[in-house]
Amino acid sequence: MVRLTTPALAALALLAPVTSSVSVPEKFLETLRTPRPFHAQTSPTRKRTCVAESHNDLKTDDAENILEAVKDCNDGGHVIFAAKQTYTISSPLDLTGLSSVDLDIQGTLSFPSDNLTYWQANSFDLQYQNATSFFILGGNDVNVYGSGTVQGNGQAWWDEYVNDKKLKRPVLFAIVGLEGGSVSDIRMRNSPFWHNIIANSSDVVYSGLDLFSTSNNGNFEKNTDGWDIYRSSRITIENSTITNGDDCVSFKPNSTQILVQNLRCNGTHGISVGSLGQYPSRTDYVLDILVRNISMANSSEGARIKVWPDAYSEKSQSLTGGGGGGLVRNVTYDGMFLDNVDYGLTITQCYGQDDEEECFKHPSKLNIMDVTFRNIRGRTNRVFSPIVGHLVCSSPQTCSGIVAENVDIRTVNGSNLVTCRNVDESTLGGLNCTDWSKGYNPA
């Protein structure tokens, strides 16, 4: 059922019965719909509109109402989540199998945190690194946009994680199996875990998003990555801002043909390839990545590649592994401004391992080839001073084609030392290399 709550929506009651798909003049419906973002114009024009009902009481589950509206407008429709309405989602929401539909979020979608035990048992298992999600969205030709907010109410999850490191915290916005679509111009707030995962998908654009997750106490907002790309191709992430407590963007296993551009990242762990090589039974690859025009402030890293060694390692109680094979090839970071970061550049094949010498004894099975750091400048803080970067491969055979061009990164004291081991220094564009190492950043 569609609930008519705002004055504009209430006017619909005079024109048609209250049903999931309201039949009213198209000109009137145009006044309710958010205009499509520019990159969604390749989708066919939607031919009908459904307004999802909200109880708007911050406690009653609206999941069934949402499913009903999406079902009614699937295959060519436009679903409106009305402005000034809060849609409480207290049960898992399966939005896969969609086709040619727009989801227009003008209000707030809120996932309450008053029953963490329920979500532990009922969230969707994403089959990677213990990741789960409140909902999954997939299909073909699906566009999500509007001026609204997706609220994860993450503080309770961050607080509980302090006591239970195996707590499965849901991803806030999960796209799984989407062929063609976009997510644009919405806000994401207080994600319990990663803000976004896109898995088993292709030809999707994220643009104009505002992501913000910070703790209001001493319990840190851990693992609140901006985007994690997994087993997906031809993905674009652009024109967005992120304040969080982990990677700004992470290219997980089998990410290919990815463009990331025009981002402002604050408080993050940088834009990272990996981690890769965690599971001995899997082959990971990340190919053809372009990252450009990035602002990186108050972060642990700038540009980073993180690979597990061929030895069992323990990053945390819930993150262990090592010994997996694969390949990183054709990755370019072009245009990055750094302000108050720990390391500006990082390559490590020792992720999860405290003893770097152990990694040299057990070189990674995952090779890194043809990586370019270009037009990167700015300053680091005192955390690893006087060193500004860490380019360390586990053997000369596991890395090749590492290039630096027009890189000027300095500490607040003016030093520009970069730890370089098992890489060809002749292609590093005059980086001030040293054997001295303070280790990779375990963040």
Query: For residue 134, what is the domain's CATH number?
Result: 2.160.20.10
**Same domain, yes or no, for 223 and 288?**
no
What 3-state DSSP class applies to 280? coil
**Same domain, yes or no, for 99 and 215?**
yes
Largest CA distance in the chain: 77
Nearest of 20, 98, 25, 26 to residue 52 by alpha carbon: 20
At residue 14, φ and ψ (nearest 5 deg) are -80, -15
d(CA 226, CA 305): 17
What pLDDT does 38 receive?
A: 63
Nearest of 48, 205, 50, 229 to residue 142 by alpha carbon: 205
**Same domain, yes or no, for 127 and 258?**
no
What pLDDT does 5 receive?
A: 35
Nearest of 223, 220, 167 to residue 194 by alpha carbon: 223
CA 132-107-2 angle, to 5 degrees, is 95
d(CA 58, CA 66): 15
Q: How many domains does the chain have?
A: 2
Place of tokens 């619909």: 12
What pLDDT does 34 receive?
A: 82
d(CA 21, CA 371): 51
**Same domain, yes or no, for 201 and 264?**
no
| Other C-beta atoms lying within 10 Å of the C-beta of residue 369 | 15
**Same domain, yes or no, for 325 and 381?**
yes
CA 313-231-126 angle, to 5 degrees, is 70
237 lies in a domain? no
235 lies in a domain? no
The catalytic residues are 246, 269
Query: Residue 400 half-sphere exposure, CB side, CA atoms within 13 Å?
Result: 5
240 lies in a domain? no
238 lies in a domain? no
What pLDDT does 26 receive?
A: 62
CB burial readout 215-228, b (16+ within 10 A) else e: beeebebbbbbbbb
Provide the whole-model pTM.
0.92
Q: 227, 262, 297: which is the final residue of a domain?
A: 227
Strand ranges inside 359-398, DSSP E: 365-380, 387-392
Contact 112, 151 (CB under 8 A): no
**Same domain, yes or no, for 201 and 275?**
no
What pLDDT does 385 receive?
A: 98
Q: 161, 195, 227: which is the final residue of a domain?
A: 227
436 lies in a domain? yes
Nearest of 199, 309, 290, 165 to residue 237 by alpha carbon: 290
Q: Which domain holds residue 80?
A: 1-227
pLDDT along the chain (443 residues), means of 10: 35 33 58 71 85 98 99 98 98 98 99 97 94 98 98 99 96 99 98 99 98 98 98 97 99 98 98 97 97 98 98 86 97 98 98 92 97 98 98 98 99 98 98 96 86
Residue/partner pairs of 116-123 with CB below 8 Å, 24 or more apart: 116/156, 116/157, 116/160, 116/167, 118/90, 119/170, 120/167, 120/168, 122/91, 122/92, 123/92, 123/168, 123/170
Nearest of 69, 85, 78 to residue 34 by alpha carbon: 78
176 lies in a domain? yes
The burial class, CB within 10 Å (0-12 / 13-18 / 19+), for 41 is exposed
**Same domain, yes or no, for 85 and 217?**
yes
**In what helix (H) or strand (E) does residue 407 lie, and over which residues does it extend?**
strand 399-411
**Same domain, yes or no, for 134 and 213?**
yes
**Same domain, yes or no, for 139 and 79?**
yes
**Same domain, yes or no, for 108 and 196?**
yes
**Same domain, yes or no, for 220 and 281?**
no
Place of tokens 């993450």: 154
Cis peptide before 385 (omega within 30 of 0): no
**Same domain, yes or no, for 285 and 384?**
yes
Q: What is the DSSP string of 3-59?
A: ---SHHHHGGGGTS---SS----HHHHHTTSPPPPGGGTTSPPP-EEEE-----SSS
Q: What is the DSSP string of 189-203?
A: E--SS-SEEEES-EE
What pLDDT does 15 receive?
A: 29
Contact 137, 92 (CB under 8 A): no
